[in-house]
Amino acid sequence: MKTVVIGSGSWGTALAQVLVDNGQDCIIWGKNHEEVNEIQNEHTIKKFFPDVQLNPQLQATADLSVVKDADVVLLSVPSIAIEEVCQSILPYLTKKIIVVNTAKGFHPGNNDRMSNVIRDCIPSSKLSSVVSLIGPSHAEEVVLRMLTTICAVSLNEADAMTIQHLFLNNYFRVYRGNDELGSELGVAVKNAIALASGVLAGLGYGDNTKAALITRGLAEMIRFGTAMGGRQETFMGLTGIGDLVVTCTSVHSRNFQAGYQIGKADDAQVFWQNNTKTVEGVRTAKVLYELKEQHQIDMPIVDEIYKVLYEGKKPSVSARDLMLRELKAEL
């Protein structure tokens, strides 16, 4: 099977290397010619992995027509770019493909989930199914072949199994699931909670605080996810608590880094003025706030991170207000 990875960033490169390590036919497509040339000729991508030598068999191209004979197209681009990328590859598709989605967020216009966006863009005559490859994983560790588990989530179990077998090796284990809605909501909610985790770390709080945030953040994830139609057990798996833990505790997480910057300054303005990276949790927090208001779901952490980001509330005041809310039973 031929796999084309769309996106020459850190995650696309790391996943492509997994496939090449497995002896699979895989090539990266990127629009950044410098990145493409570096991967193709130097077998490095120092912008993301300064000290890593990539598998020399890994190839990259800037020619999008490479997708024309692909069996699998893996999208490793931010959620805001998914629609545009799908529309770009559509003219080149000559047969039904499996689209593997790795984005964790919502459509920038209608707030739809990524799998629905892909199905809306690519007709069933060209699409076998969407498989979301999501879970607790940082590119910085996968590229070093550190042990990682992840989940292939799809409404089509046969295609999920295909992706499992493509990626499985001695450092990258793939489970599968079929709760597409719950899984995609879980990995989106954790982005906002990870922002809050970074904020609290930036304010100087420690492990007690982090444990409290992850635990109560999981409660909000379950409350929101089940209200929207996800299965509760999904949030106890890799796309729920698994992704929540890794994103809330790791300096590799862009959401955590952004939150840390905000907490350190006790002001979100420093983020808005200086950020140049895609931080999915920033927009996700806004979408979650709107949805939880619409459906009247109690999500106090999301409330506060929204107010910090969009209403100018001081993070230190938000932390205090979370602690001094009305007392309640834990469960």
Using only the alpha carbons of the chain, give its radius of gyration: 20
Pairing of strands 148-153, 127-134: antiparallel
Query: Is residue 96 a contact partner of residue 125, using CB atoms and an 8 Å limit?
Result: yes
Q: Which is nearest to 79 in space by CA: 48, 111, 47?
A: 111
Q: In what order do the strands lie in the sheet with 25-29?
A: 59-61, 25-29, 2-6, 72-75, 97-101, 127-134, 148-153, 172-177
Residues in the chain, total: 331
Active site residue 190: yes
Question: Would you say 6 and 12 are in contact if contact means Cβ atoms under 8 Å apart?
Answer: yes
Q: Which of 190, 292, 307, 313 is catalytic?
A: 190
- Six token digits for residue 148: 């990682």
Question: Which residues sit opposite 153 in a β-bridge?
Answer: 132, 177
CA distance 129 to 154: 7
CA-closest candidate to residue 221, choices 195, 246, 191: 191
Bin 23: left if φ > 0, else alpha if -120 < ψ < 50, else beta. left
Helix (H, G, I), strand (E, B) or coil at 171: coil
Tell me the three state secondary structure of residue 72.
strand
Residues 6+ apart with CB under 8 A from 106: 79, 112, 113, 114, 188, 283, 284, 287
Residues taking part in catalysis: 190
